[in-house]
Structure 1
Amino acid sequence: MGISFCCIKTCNVRLTRMCKLVLLCVLVGVLPLLKLLVPAPLQQADSYYVFRLFIDKQEFPVEVESSRVNSRNISVQIDKNMIENHLLKMGHLPDKSMYENDSLLLHFMPLMSPRDRVNLLITLETFVRICEQENLTYFLWGGSLLGAYRHHGFIPWDDDFDIVMNGSDWRRIRSVLSHVEGYGLQAPGDNHWKFYKEDLLPVPEQLFTWPFLDIFFYRDDLTYMWALSTSIKFELVNPIEDIFPLQLRAFEHLFVAVPCKMEEIVLLLYGVNDCYSPSCTHKNGNPINSVYMPCQQLHSIFPFVFRQKDSNSGTVLETLKQGNRIFRNVSVPQQQCARRR
């Protein structure tokens, strides 16, 4: 009996080792193939941080700690006339009736009216000035980052704004943004937040108004940054030097914070020559059919940024123009992106 048990145990050990060897061989062969199936940012990321990306979640105990929020009010004065004048200088929105016979171009007609754009820019400027005043770190992401790179502002057919902030600082962020006069903050513990003007019409069946800012959260260490908020899980997992030090780049009438390697991130995530119409309207939350069009076909209808690099200095001249009409030139010096200390 003892001999039989020993034989079985020895066989099991051999089988276990064999199974591990076979499993290892399978993983070595399959993992490169599996990596090709995931989005591009995850393909290039360190495997450990891809693991952290899926393990770590946005779980802020907002209800438990609600009593810790301070009660001081913050007021910011925004020059609405300056914003309206800026939008006038940037050209008029295209007349939708001119494209009624072009079913493809109709998908790219702006979702925001001039008044909507003014309200979103007022909200954005309020947010930016408060972050500067309170020393809160933020940077653009998603369609807003693409808009800053490709249009020096909103993607003309977009209708919201995407921002990323540090999840470890969520208490102070909520403490500040929930006490801005005239503004509301929807701050769930397990989803991205919304910052909005309170005097606008609410989104149907929601407690917030439109247009609004979406605020997503990240976690980081000395080496990497990865997303906490679910909506950007397949986009944000980057070495720290991709993001910091943050750069200020033109966005409409403002200069706002963007990742240091802005161009590399935009090209990896979105591309700049492929234009896609919206997949939903944030005003009412309704899904719409998104279509593709080469951006070149839109150059005469909307403003786009064109770049020319000085090979000696590395400085890039960014020219915002629509057709042959030039709106402005911005000189961007060569960036030195390095690890945070």
Structure 2
Amino acid sequence: MNFENSKVYFFLRNSVLYGMLQPIWRFYYRRCRKRAMKLYACELLENMKQILDKNNILFWLDFGTLLGAYRDKNFISYDCDIDIAILYEDAERVRNLLKNSDFCLTHEYRVGKAGEVAQLSYKYKSLSIDICFYHKKNESMYCYLCSILPGVSIVNNRRCVVAVAKCVVPCEKFANINFHKLIYHAPFPTEEYLAAHYGPNFMIPDSKFDYTKDAPNITNYAIEELAGECIYNG
């Protein structure tokens, strides 16, 4: 079991100790994640690609993983996880396919009263991969991004309410991008897609970029308007 999904972590997050220990924990955790990126990033992506390609599921590199592939021709040095995206219509197929794989579901985000799945997060060895699910609409797409609010309680040690934001990106079609000797999909025009996510200066590295605050393409919802839920696994 991963510490960030354990009862100890849930307890600390909702106690006065969390504020005191948070800087130390973040430093240690980020260091561990960066090491995992160096060790397993290529292996993780290749294995995920094999599973999804074998089952004819379209997926593409997204967020920091796409930015690194396009701008740096490598994983971003300060990135700590892998991001891919899939169309919402394939969400349940993906979940079922990964049940008996080397990918372990750690948590998922669901949105609205119907509990629409917005993101599935997995561990491969000690590295995380986030899968966001997009809805296609004409020449654009949108997905929902979720974030845990400070002070929000974990219900029954496995669920908590999260804030929701809508993320909109342009996408006419998909193109190929060569990344670490393998061919992946990327939304096209890729420049416009990345500019939507990160702004017009996306080609300039910015380790302080905070997507929840700095991204130009998100609309934040009040909890009363649209709420989400984070469900932890095991």
Common topology (TM > 0.5): yes
**Contact 2:142/2:166, CA 8 A, preserved across alignment:** no
The structural deviation recorded for 1:110 is 11
Q: Which residue is 2:141 aligned to? A: 225
CA distance in 2, matches of 1:186, 1:152: 29
Unaligned stretches of 5+ in structure 1? 1-108, 201-209, 281-341
Q: Of 201, 204, 225, which aligns to 1:274? A: 204
TM-score normalised by length of structure 1: 0.40
CA distance in 1, matches of 2:109, 2:192: 31
Match of 1:165 in 2: 86
Give the structure with higher Rg (CA).
Answer: 1
Partner of 2:219: none
Separation in structure 2 between the aligned mates of residue 187 and residue 168 of structure 1, nearest angstrom: 20
After TM superposition, give the deviation of residue 237 of structure 1 in Å.
3.7
| Cα gap change, 1:110 to 1:274, in 2 (>3 Å) | farther
Q: CA deviation at 1:179?
A: 1.8
Rounded to whole Å, the distance in 1 between the matches of 2:188 and 2:97 is 26
- 1:215 pairs with one of 86, 106, 131: 131
Q: Which amino acid aligns with 2:56?
A: N
Output the CA distance in 2 between the equivalents of 1:150 and 1:176. Answer: 31
Q: Please tell me the residue identity of whatever aligns with 2:168.
A: L
The aligned counterpart of 2:34 is: 112
CA distance in 2, matches of 1:110, 1:189: 24
Instruction: Give the TM-score normalised by the residue count of structure 2.
Output: 0.57
What is the letter of the counterpart of residue 215 of structure 1?
Answer: I
Deviation at 1:135, TM superposition (A): 0.6
* 1:194 alignment partner in structure 2: 121
Could you tell me how far 1:176 is from its partner in structure 2?
A: 0.7
Equivalent position of 1:260 in the other structure:
188
**Could you say if the C-alpha distance between residues 116 and 188 of structure 1 is closer, same or farther in structure 2, counting changes exceeding 3 Å?**
closer
Match of residue 134, structure 1, among 47, 55, 70: 55
Q: Distance in 1 between matches of 2:145 and 2:39?
A: 28
Larger mean CA deviation between 159-168 and 220-229 belongs to: 220-229
Higher strand share: 2
Measure the CA separation in 1 of the matches of 2:92 and 2:195. Answer: 33
Structure 1 residues 111 and 221: CA distance shift in structure 2, 3 A: closer
Contact 2:169–2:196 under 8 Å retained in 1? no
Task: Give 1:255 deviation, angstroms.
Answer: 2.1
* Alpha-carbon distance in structure 2 between the residues aligned to 1:222 and 1:170: 20
Helix, strand or coil: the match of 1:165?
strand
Retained in 2: the 8 A contact 1:161–1:213? Answer: yes
1:236 maps to what in 2? 168
For this pair of structures, how many residues does the alignment match? Answer: 155
- Relative contact order, higher structure (CA 8 A, sep 6+): 2
- Pair 1:185-2:117 in alignment: no
Pick closer, same or farther for the CA change 1:224–1:262 going to 2, 3 Å: closer
CA distance in structure 2 between the partners assigned to 1:166 and 1:179 by the alignment: 21
Q: What is the percentage of aligned positions where both structures have the same residue?
A: 25
SS in 2 for 1:236: strand
Q: Distance in 1 between matches of 2:181 and 2:165?
A: 30
Q: Is residue 175 of structure 1 aligned with residue 103 of structure 2?
A: no
Q: Decide whether the 8 Å contact of 1:185 with 1:195 is kept in 2.
A: yes
- Offset, 1:217: 1.0
